[in-house]
Amino acid sequence: MLRAAVIQLNTQNDKQANLAAIEAQIRACVARERPDWIQLPEHAEWLGGSSGAPAVAEPFKDGPTYALLSRLAAELKVWIHGGSFYEQSDNPGRAYNTTVVFDRDGVEQARYRKIHLFDVTTADGAKFHESATVDPGRQIVTYDCEGVKVGCAICYDVRFPELFQELMRQGAQLIALPAAFTLLTGKDHWETLIRARAIETECWLAAAAQWGSYPTPAGERQSFGQSMIVDPWGAVVARVSDGLGFASASIDTDLVARVRQQIPVGANKAIHIEASL
């Protein structure tokens, strides 16, 4: 049984301070929860509006975020699902929103680039145009974590159930969803969407979130928080409400099997749509 933890951060636009906060929270989480696997939120290393993404984006494997997470995974002997950080794109002056996963030896085991980019104007008039500076990923990614098949998603991906259906089809038992949900959308949609994706896929969902205010060129923005772990029946079994913190739960893959036996949605599916990303 895998002990999984989600860490909630209040990332700002000071990268060095953010990296120090990541290290402090990972160390505290390991000391208290003794997890096998830790997930950070989206934009763990820098949060200041996507217009700044190209300036802070790191060369892959040669940046400070990658180095920090690899070092901590090896030192603390824990898997780290690194939320996401800005990675330099193959297109000059642009970035990817990238998750990197490290095993207990600090070796990279998976890399996922966010597929669905957040291009919206919310009801309060705030405009988010992630694709102005960020390129989308094209690959659906799963990996094996000591016998648990983990599927990768990031934040806005949660609104696209076909991605989650494909992760289930590829064998996912746990789906990781690092996020930086806005306060406005989060208060009405965050938990509902996470529980729906868990129920639909009959997977565990682990969602590490950003919380609190952060500055952007367009003004102060607010993240919702409420990091959580949801079981395959759709029940919230661990939560961080407001503020910094972490929570953990044991990922029981036998429960996945029991729920899928009770309600065999995979076997009963009448329409199979191939992913075309």
Q: Which pairing describes strands 95-102 and 79-81: parallel, antiparallel, or unpaired?
A: antiparallel
SS3 category, 133 = coil
Coil, strand, or helix at residue 19?
helix
User: Can you tell me the distance from the alpha carbon of 17 to that of 11, in angstroms, rounded to the nearest whole number?
Assistant: 9
Active-site residue flag, 269: no
Phi/psi at 180 (5° precision): -140, 60
58 catalytic? Reply is no
Helix (H) or strand (E) holding 121: strand 119-121
Q: Which amino acid makes up residue 259?
A: V
Tokens 């949801």 belong to which residue? 230
CB-based contact 177:204 (threshold 8 Å): no
Residue 45 is a catalytic residue? no
Indicate which residue of 33, 42, 87, 202 is catalytic.
Answer: 42
Q: Is 132 left (phi over 0), alpha (psi -120 to 50) or beta?
A: alpha
Catalytic residue among 29, 145, 152, 155: 155
Nearest Cα residue to 167 out of 75, 6, 91, 275: 275
Catalytic residue set: 42, 114, 155
